[in-house]
Every structure is written in structure tokens, then in C-alpha cells.
Structure 1
Amino acid sequence: MGRQLLPRIAVALVAIEHVYILVLEMFFWNKPLGMKTFNLTQELADATTTLAANQGLYNGFLAAGLFFGLFTGNRVFKIFFLACVIVAGVFGAATAAPKIFFSQALPAIIALGLVLALDKKPAAQRSL
């Protein structure tokens, strides 16, 4: 259990971050916190509220997949959803803001590395 604690914490932090992003995008997009976080004007925030809510929902799905992997111990789910976060973070960095790489992709890369290196069951206990 000891060597599996660090990857579990890392995956949990990535999942919690995506719940936070869900809340920002779905509920605070056109409020002061959301506008400050995403560097938006009130006009742009109001015009894109529905789009942001859709983005937030997708971030919630990423978090749900990571939490499912954590609660079931399913390594494949953790790997798959961390890879999805990495792809989304790299795409966001390339198309929206470079800082997204550091705030989303990099934590997921670190968590994925920890899962791959440390989150292994003995061969007799492996189901996936």
C-alpha cells in the first residue's frame, strides 16, 4: 500500500482540480472569480457562458473517470483518464493559453508517471 499512496494522491489532486475547473466554468464563468481566472471581459463571459458550461461538464467527466479509477483501484481507468487530461491540456496550451500546459497537462503527466511506476499490484492480484 505504501508505494501506491503517492500515485493515488497525485491522481486525486488531478481529479479535484478538474472538479474545481467544472465549478469555475459551469457556475462562475461570468462572475468576478471566473472572469479573473480566465481573463475575460464581462461581455465575452456573458456571450460564452453556455460554451463554458459545456467545457465544465467535460472537465467533470474527466474527474469522474479519475475518481472511478481511484475508488475501484482500476489502473486502466487512471491511465486512460490521465491521458485524456494530458491531451486536453496540451491542446488547450496550443490553442488557448500556454499556461494550461503547466496547470493541467503537467500535473497529469506527473500523476501518470507515478501510476505507471508505482501503482502496480503483484502479478497474482492483477485483473487488468
Structure 2
Amino acid sequence: MNLLADVLIGLIALLHLYICWFEMFAWESRGPKVFDTLPRDLFAPTTAMAANQGLYNGFLAAGLIWSLLIGDADWSRNVAAFFLLCVAIAGTYGARTVTRRIFWIQTVPALAALLTLWLA
């Protein structure tokens, strides 16, 4: 992979580590500020659900980090492409069901990294 693809993959992995932390450990404290259109009283009863979502984001980050550590270029590219596609699909679904901001925060960077990966 080339340096730009590696940097984008690394940034997306960091983003998903942040989302993992946010959903697993800061849902009730920071959630109402981030998702200001949701009533505050929904955050406490949805803590377990958010933590579950956070765990999935942690798996996405782990897969992207793993792709950067694989020595074989073809295998590394394939693993990165799989996890970037997962991020893009999840971001698209989140944009359709939660808020359109998710499209710009998750889907667009994942698609940009995929494009950079395929052009490398």
C-alpha cells in the first residue's frame, strides 16, 4: 500500500477507536452533547446498546490496524479493503437511520481510502 492509503486507514482506525470509547464509556456523559436532537432521558436506558455498538466499532478499528501490520502487500490490501467496505456500509446505514452527518464522518473517508488503496 502507499503512504497516503496507510495514513487514511490509520486515521479511520483512530476515528473508530474514538467511537468505540465514546459509545462504550462516555455515552451518558457526552452522548447528549453529540446527539443533541435526542431527548436526554434516552441515554441512560440505551447505555448497553451503545456499548455493544462501540464494541463493533472497536472491531472495525482492530481490522484496519491489522491491515497495516500485514507484511504481504496483496493480503494487506484485501484486509484493508474489506474493513473499509464495512465502515462505508455501516456509515451509509447510519446516515440513513440516525443522522446524515455519519455519511460525511464515516462513509466519505472510507470511500476516499478505498479509492486511494485501489489506485495505489
TM-score, shorter chain, exceeding 0.5: yes
Q: Deviations over 1:2-27 (max 9, x none)?
A: x7111000000011000000011000
Moved more, 33-42 or 3-12: 33-42
Establish whether residue 42 from structure 1 lines up as the match of residue 40 from structure 2.
yes
Q: Deviations over 1:79-126 (max 9, x none)?
A: 0000000000000001111111001100100011111111xxxxxxxx
Structure 1 residue runs of 4+, over 3 Å off?
A: none
Establish whether residue 66 from structure 1 lines up as the match of residue 68 from structure 2.
no
SS in 2 for 1:97: coil
- Which runs of 5 or more structure 2 residues have no equivalent in the other structure? none
The root-mean-square deviation of aligned C-alpha atoms, in Å, is 1.2
Residue 123 of structure 1: aligned partner:
none
Identity of aligned residues (%): 46
SS in 1 for 2:43: helix
Residue 109 of structure 2: aligned partner:
107
TM-score (norm 1): 0.86
> Looking at CA atoms only, which structure, 1 or 2, has the larger radius of gyration?
1
Output the CA distance in 1 between the equivalents of 2:35 and 2:19: 11
Output the CA distance in 2 between the equivalents of 1:103 and 1:38: 14
SS in 2 for 1:6: helix
Q: Which amino acid aligns with 1:101?
A: F
Distance apart, 1:34 and its partner CA? 2.4
TM-score (norm 2): 0.91
Q: Which amino acid aligns with 1:81?
A: F
Q: How does 1:21-32 map to 2 (within 5 A)?
A: 21-31=19-29
